[in-house]
Amino acid sequence: MIDLSINLNKIALIRNSRDTTIPDVVEHAKLCIAAGADGITVHPRPDQRHIRARDCFDLQSAIDVELNIEGNPFTAPRPCDRPSIGDYPGYMALVGAIRPAQATLVPDTDGQLTSDHGFNLDRDGERLRPIIGQLKDWGCRVSLFMDPDPSAMATAKAIGADRVELYTERYAQAHAAGDFAAVLQAYVETAEAALAVGLGINAGHDLNLNNLPDFVIPGLQEVSIGHAFTVDALSFGIKETIKRYQIALGKNL
């Protein structure tokens, strides 16, 4: 079965648009879990514009499903002049303190609006190797955010990754245009290459209720849904939206 991990960044973004604690990130995580979510994902960034470092600590102590913390492992600490928010400690310091079930490494820059590409392992692989080793020593499963490139899977395995998270924006755009077979094949071939070297497979970015049922690739273990889930929840409510996504993943509810 494919796990559904709900990304709470947009819930935090709504909260941060005002000087308030509403909506409460932890309570929304609990609502998602009660409705059937298999995991919770967050992607804190150095400017803390949505999920904040403090949210990650609060979630780890409050939820009973897997917590996945995404981020760029090369980010440095960043101070914050608002005590109510607290400083951003840097990705590795944050994960080292929390020890989440999964650490997903993403090559985004500090000011980037959203993730828009995977790692180039020819360039960054050796820099990532000791970082992956440290994360695994902390007990984290390590996933690398990757473009659909079969040739990169052996390197991802060689530097120590447990899984790859396939960046699915290309697929989502092709699906919306109504001609996605060729693009999907690239993901199928990448998944096959990942399985051949012993990597697990996650996927995420712009997956939604329309395109998720057609995203059929071998060995898929987890999808992370955030933006589309939040939008759908405004229409259907959290419980019904979780149900619809689980059905889209092929589960009989």
Distance separating alpha carbons of residues 32 and 39, to the nearest angstrom = 9
Instruction: Considering the candidates 70, 165, 175, 222, report the single residue annotated as catalytic.
Output: 70
| Nearest by Cα to 33 from 12, 70, 59 | 59
How many helices (H) does the chain have, and how many strands (E)? Answer: 10, 8
Cβ contact 40:23 at 8 Å = no
Distance separating alpha carbons of residues 185 and 171, to the nearest angstrom = 10
Q: 222 catalytic, yes or no? A: no
Tokens encoding 123: 């360039």
Q: 43 catalytic, yes or no? A: yes
Instruction: Considering the candidates 28, 43, 50, 175, report the single residue annotated as catalytic.
Output: 43
Provide the 10 A C-beta neighbour count for residue 55. Answer: 22
Q: DSSP states of 162-209 as a string?
A: SEEEEE-HHHHHHHHHT--HHHHHHHHHHHHHHHHHT-EEEEESS--T
Instruction: Considering the candidates 28, 50, 175, 205, report the single residue annotated as catalytic.
Output: 205
Q: 27 catalytic, yes or no? A: no
The residues assigned a catalytic role are 43, 70, 205
